[in-house]
Amino acid sequence: MTVGSQLHGTLASLRSIEATLSTLAQKTEEQEAREAFHQGALKTRTVIHELAKRVHQVENEEPQYQQT
């Protein structure tokens, strides 16, 4: 498995986690838990954004890591 495919796999996993946290935030009735899930989703979204920028940088600087 190449570094590029590992990075893309990590991004996919993070997107899944963010979606799950968002769903839990919407379905949870307890306010404190809802807020915790929402905050987790927001933090995960920030990590996704930063990792996506890094993936783009790696692919531009290191063509052997480009996803085919």
pLDDT single digits (tens) 5-46:
899 999 999 999 999 999 999 999 999 999 999 999 999 999
Please check the confidence at residue 56 and state whether its pLDDT lies above 70: yes
Q: pTM here?
A: 0.84
> What is the C-alpha separation between 52 and 68, in angstroms, rounded?
17
pLDDT band at residue 65 using 50, 70 and 90 as cut-offs: low
Euclidean distance between CA atoms 44 and 32, whole angstroms: 18
> Which residue's entry shows tokens 């933090």?
43
CA distance 25 to 45: 14
Residue pair 14/44 in contact (Cβ under 8 Å)? The answer is yes
